Structure 1
Amino acid sequence: MQLNTNYFEELWLSDNQKKEPTVEFWNFRAEEYNLSSSTVDAQLNRLEKVQALIDRGIINAESTVLDIGCGSGQFAVELAKKTRKVVGLDFSDKMLSYASANAAAEGLKNTAFIHSDWDGFHYAEAFDLVIASMSPAIHKPDHLYKMMKYSRGYCYLSSFVERHSGLKEKLYRLTDQSYVRQFNKINYIFNLLWTKGVFPELTYETGIHKRVFPLAKAQEIYTRELSVLESPKQASRIHQYLEAVAENEVVTELLQQRKGELIWKQS
């Protein structure tokens, strides 16, 4: 068996069976996502990442940055404080409203947020750094190659390689579904880059992420995450279970997770 570019492209495509979240899903999640990304720990983590990019000479005060799937814009905001221009795109209009507000709150004038998915995105110039931080936008080889095309310097991509939640797995079983993890994207990208003569740096970050929701909010979120809005019976099972495990009308989910981070220089 020859492990060439086509092999890893086909492997990635054949494994890409998980349904990608919709605009409606991310619009619904926008407020919660913005809040969870605004915690002190999340802010410190972003500051460390941006400083590491500066220390390594990947960005400087004259750099331009493209943020694919920028969400509520916190990473874009931190990057904009240290670079000449940051362009962020997202297909969720509610995410972008938070991104614009977060940039305005910092008094930034060098950010632009574009309402677009990655397939439909077009821009007249390349960027010194292109990032896709935990972004579902890069979910097939063509998306990766487009990302590389827009970089005249470096690319940064991060994604889960492991994520376990006892609560989520229980909910999948209750709704007669299989919990398909499918966190192989980093492996496929790493190998694809090698076949093209690009040698990325791969690092891992482990931790525990806590999600805390009022019961009613949790019931809405998990019925959407498990795609059972159109099944009253399955939605009812989720609601009943969350009621049983809630403490003082609050549902807490602990996720053990490992993120992979790839950085590479475009040739």
Structure 2
Amino acid sequence: MDNIKCINNLNADDWENAWKNELGEEIKKKKFWTKDTPKIHFEKIAVKDEYHEKLMEKLVLDETDTVIDLGCGEGAVTTLIAEKVSKILGIDSSPMMLDLLQQRIDHDNIKNIETKKMKIEDVSIESVGKFDVVLASRSFMGIHDIKDVLINSNEIANKYVFLAVFGRRNWRIEKKFYEEIGKDYPDFAPHDYIFNMLINLGIYPNIEHFDLKGNRKYDDIEDAFIRMKWKMNNLSEEEVDKIKPFLEENLKLNKEDGKLENPLDKSDLVLIWWSKDSFNW
């Protein structure tokens, strides 16, 4: 169970408070992805990699299913799921991300994807209705009021909830950059907190560690700058200007595939999931 610690003397509120403390102060500044961000073509960022392949192997999907993708981003996962189900709704708070997904939809003439601009925290049965499957792919880790989001996700699902979250060994190159500029990297809270919160809510999930072999790869420096988790809201303009020179020094060209990579730059991801038939809610 990936060294998960289940501590029974804490309740769900305690775990949520611990989660919030781990995240630090909630940042309400303008997100990096906004309408002011220079327009990017979907093919530049909607990169399908080893993670997407592994995730699709683990999801339980039927061709008649309806799915809601919470924090769908640019749609790299959303479009893969659309090939296997009846309908999927992509939810994201970023107009830029939804624009990239719409580019993909239009380019590939996909008919069964709908999108909705909404914060994950605002998603509920009242706002979106019921779906057979709820998915959150790497999108829960910055949410402060996580307990209500977990409860709402469970209530929305008819069959399954799948949460792909970050493990403890992520963002090594980003953390190295923060170390070089003399700052602490504002890390995501560990997945242990979600697991224990669910247990205290009466939900007993399965947990699986993704066995990802490859490094994160990038087309060029600009691609790495866009796709890495820099936590821009924590950086000054002068510090942001130092990122690309840092990448030029630390990323190396893989001669076999022509991509830029760093040997330490691996993703650590965990899947937490449960069936609605497995417990009495």
User: TM-score interval w.r.t. the shorter chain?
Assistant: 0.7 to 0.9
Aligned letter for 2:162? Y
Could you tell me which residue of structure 2 aligns to residue 157 of structure 1?
Answer: 163
Decide whether the 8 Å contact of 1:126 with 1:151 is kept in 2.
Answer: yes
Residues of 2 paired with 1:100 and 1:159: CA distance? 25
Q: How far does the alpha carbon of each residue in 1:119-163 deviate from its partner, in whole angstroms, 9 at most, with x for none?
A: 344535211111111114644222222222222221110111123
222 and 110 in structure 1: CA distance in 2 versus 1, 3 angstrom threshold: closer
Deviation at 1:33, TM superposition (A): 8.0
Unaligned runs of 5+ in 1: 54-58
Could you tell me which residue of structure 1 aligns to residue 152 of structure 2?
Answer: 146
Could you tell me which residue of structure 1 aligns to residue 47 of structure 2?
Answer: 38
Of Structure 1 and Structure 2, the greater helix share is in 1
Matches within 5 A, 1:1-267: 2-17=9-24, 24-27=31-34, 28=37, 31=40, 35=44, 37-39=46-48, 41=50, 44-50=53-59, 53=60, 59-121=61-123, 123-136=127-140, 138-139=143-144, 140-184=146-190, 186-207=191-212, 208-212=214-218, 214-215=220-221, 225-227=231-233, 230-232=236-238, 234-235=239-240, 237-238=242-243, 240-245=245-250, 252-253=261-262, 254-266=264-276, 267=281
Of Structure 1 and Structure 2, the greater strand share is in 1
Aligned letter for 1:256? K
Decide whether the 8 Å contact of 2:42 with 2:104 is kept in 1.
Answer: no
Could you tell me which residue of structure 2 aligns to residue 56 of structure 1?
Answer: none
235 and 76 in structure 1: CA distance in 2 versus 1, 3 angstrom threshold: closer
Deviation at 1:75, TM superposition (A): 1.8
When structure 1 is superposed on structure 2, of 251-260 and 168-177 the one drifting more is 251-260
225 and 5 in structure 1: CA distance in 2 versus 1, 3 angstrom threshold: closer
Deviation at 1:19, TM superposition (A): 5.4
Q: How far does the alpha carbon of each residue in 1:22-56 deviate from its partner, in whole angstroms, 9 at most, with x for none?
A: 66423559848854543464553454244xx1xxx
Aligned letter for 1:83? V
> CA RMSD, aligned part only?
3.5
When structure 1 is superposed on structure 2, of 63-72 and 192-201 the one drifting more is 192-201
Residues of 1 paired with 2:222 and 2:45: CA distance? 18
Q: How far does the alpha carbon of each residue in 1:99-130 deviate from its partner, in whole angstroms, 9 at most, with x for none?
A: 12323344332211011212344535211111
Aligned letter for 2:211? T
Residues of 2 paired with 1:222 and 1:43: CA distance? 17
Decide whether the 8 Å contact of 2:169 with 2:268 is kept in 1.
Answer: yes
109 and 75 in structure 1: CA distance in 2 versus 1, 3 angstrom threshold: same
2:120 aligned counterpart, secondary structure: coil
Instruction: Give the alignment's TM-score, normalised by structure 2.
Output: 0.74
Instruction: Give the alignment's TM-score, normalised by structure 1.
Output: 0.78
Residues of 2 paired with 1:145 and 1:158: CA distance? 16
Residues of 2 paired with 1:256 and 1:32: CA distance? 25
Residues of 1 paired with 2:76 and 2:30: CA distance? 19
Residues of 1 paired with 2:111 and 2:128: CA distance? 20
Decide whether the 8 Å contact of 1:134 with 1:157 is kept in 2.
Answer: yes
Which structure would you say has the larger RCO, counting Cα contacts within 8 Å and 6 or more residues apart?
2
Decide whether the 8 Å contact of 2:42 with 2:100 is kept in 1.
Answer: no
108 and 161 in structure 1: CA distance in 2 versus 1, 3 angstrom threshold: same
